A and B are shown apart, each in its own frame.
Chain A
Amino acid sequence: MRVPGSFHLRLLSVLLACATVILLVWSVFAQSTTQADSSSRHEVAYQWGLAPWAPEPVVPPDNPMSLGKVELGRHLFYDKRLSADESMSCATCHRQEKAFTDGKARSEGIDGKLGGRSAMSLANAGYLPVLTWMNPNLNSLEIQALIPIFGEHPVEMGMAGREELLFERLKSEPRYKKMFIEAFPKEATLGDAGLYSLSTVTKALAAFQRSLVSFSSAFDHYRYEGKADALSPSAKRGESLFFGEKMECYHCHGGLNFNDNIQHSRMPFPELGFHNTGLYDVDGKGGYPQTNPGIIEITGIAGDTGKFRTPTLRNIALTAPYMHDGSIPSLAEVIRGHYARAGRASADKGQPNPLRSEFLQGFNVTEEEVVDLVAFLESLTDFAFVSNPRHSDPWRAGVQ
């Protein structure tokens, strides 16, 4: 291995490397000083308002965050003109005070018909690699925004085929022009057709949803910020049950966002989790109702029967009723009537769903334990999030 004279070669290469580094640093520095003069406020890095311990969401390269874009997205999110009869906005089913859910088992579209599943919370949507209950391929907030606006099965906001009408409505709102130009300066150079498009509307809606970060619950103060008394004794006992081997909750609801579907800026790639919790068993062989069969509807794989994406438990006390179809009214009943029984279906069938997750073995639970576990789940409510004016309706009288 030791070649005579190699030290001199190494010396030369190290010196060359150093010289290159110096030149590179010099050029970057020189460039940045000249650019600083012409830089506009669009280039100022977006401030997430996150505690230092919390990682940032993953942002797609073609839709960088900016304050202007988030503000535009917020206005669109709360704008009823996004629905055919101007009766519904995104916020109709995603209300801030309910952590961006609607309190209903299933939500009505503009035609008064119920959708298939319960409106999901948008808290920390930017940390989700897969967005909805039952479609494992839906991984982009930009694409997802098209579904409630234009979807026909079911009809939600009913704008299918009416995008030109949508753009006309947006153009006629005096507040929007300045906001669109500020959010999309490049598109603005292409005129109205570039500025008012499905691309800009969905990108702004996605940016607003990414801004909905929620890491300021009592549990966060206790766990990450060292405030030992932020949890009540009951919630602390509930924490032990939640992270314990009897109930096994944390296997699927662990991690930063209390679910096993997570991506963030400190992770090299996303993690996904879909599970059958034995809520149904229509045929004694693990089958689920036709209306909501689980991700098998998309994948066609028999083993995916009854599997749904794990939801976050952050703000869960505000998002009743529970499960993908809102079929359980309270957290106590979710614990007692579903998970303690190794899945609710076991009550009818006399045996739990054979396809359910191996972590659902059932458990004996006392009333005190139910109270403690619910107290822990309530400690995941982020009151600052649900009252944050940055996320609120900008169209209300007096709000600009």
Chain B
Amino acid sequence: MKYVNTLAVMLGLGCGLGLPTAHAQQQPVEIKFTAQVNGQPFSCGQSYKDIGSTKSTITPSDFRFFVSEVELLDAQGRATALTLTQDKTWQVENVALLDFENATGPCRNGTVPTNTSVRGTVPSGKYTGVRFTLGVPFKLNHVDPTTAPAPLSSTAMFWTWQGGYKFLKVDMASAGTTAAHGHGAAHGAGHGGGAASGFSVHLGSTMCASPSKTAAPTACANPNRLTVSLPQFDLSKQTIVADIGAVLAGANVDVNTPGTSPGCMSFLKDADCPPIMAALGLPYENHAAGLQRFFSAK
């Protein structure tokens, strides 16, 4: 009984001390995201036409990405950090995993649950825009992925200990590469999920030197984090659209440069990368950063 009374006093004190902070009123915020392919909603098993420089047909088998450091902007451009709800599933610290695949059809190696929004709180106020990073902050990007809390426990998004996580993972089967192996586009559409003929866009940090393959680096020469600013964004009405079709617009998804990773996996000396990295608004080797075309407010 003595313990209970002590506990009660402590709780009472704790609650009492907590009161002053109740002054700073918080408002809940949900920022919705949509995944698209050339303006069409992304769906596992769906095929999409007119992709890339060869107007190919693709069947995506994965569509996931990390966002972090989410901030709301006011009319003067001042930024206020969004405090993410720590849900032990999709959000940890200031990182959230957005996951549009549902493990059906060609997305077989995915996960059933999906996550299409970022949730948190900000001090009450009037906000007119949003800013966020595509990627995982350096501080969290090189933690041990085998023991990290969700969503940083995802083996699918785990890349290398040195490089950290895949910030963006979109995989697809494409008509051209499938045909090159003696299969028609219709047949190829069923493969996805890791057929050798696939094309992938995996974004992550590169050139992160570390003492061993399973030790964290001190820095990465190519962080490949993209800051996205949408100053005109109505939280109550609008959605952030992530359109992989726009990223692939200048790429040839029907071929993979021999001796390189399938598609573009951010590594240097891959001829498949320049048009993709440019559309992601990132510099690549001697190519300057272009304007990002992946995200837009709709």
Contact = CB atoms under 8 A, between A and B. Distances in A.
Contacts of B150: 266-268
B36 interface: no
B225 interface: no
Contacts of A358: 171, 194-198, 200, 262
Given A239-B214, A302-B190, A26 B149 contact: no
A271 B154 contact: yes
Contacts of A301: 105, 190
A267 B153 contact: yes
Nearest to B19: A14
Interface size class, chain A: 35 or more
A275 B171 CA distance: 15
Interface residues of B, number: 61
Contact of B11 (A25, A244, A245, A250): A25
Interface stretch (A171-179, A253-261, A315-323, A325-333): A253-261
A21 to B, nearest CB: 6
A303 B11 contact: no
Q: Is the interface of B mostly helix, strand, loop or mixed?
A: loop
Q: Which of B105, B200, B213, B267 has the most chain A CB within a 10 Å cutoff?
A: B213
Given A11-B19, A260-B109, A262-B155, A356 B214 contact: no
Interface in A14-34: 14-15, 17-18, 21-22, 25-26, 29-30
Interface stretch (A40-48, A112-120, A156-164, A347-355): A347-355
A172 to B, nearest CB: 46
A260 B111 CA distance: 12
A1 B26 CA distance: 11
A226 B88 CA distance: 27
B25 to A, nearest CB: 7
A239 B161 CA distance: 12
B183 interface: yes
Interface in B278-295: none
Given A357-B196, A361-B196, 8 more contacts: A17-B15, A224-B144, A242-B213, A243-B160, A262-B155, A271-B154, A358-B194, A358-B200
30 contacts: A11-B22, A14-B15, A22-B12, A29-B7, A224-B144, A243-B160, A245-B160, A250-B160, A254-B158, A255-B158, A266-B149, A266-B153, A267-B150, A268-B90, A271-B155, A272-B103, A272-B111, A274-B108, A275-B109, A276-B194, A285-B182, A301-B190, A302-B187, A303-B108, A354-B181, A358-B195, A358-B197, A358-B262, A360-B196, A361-B196
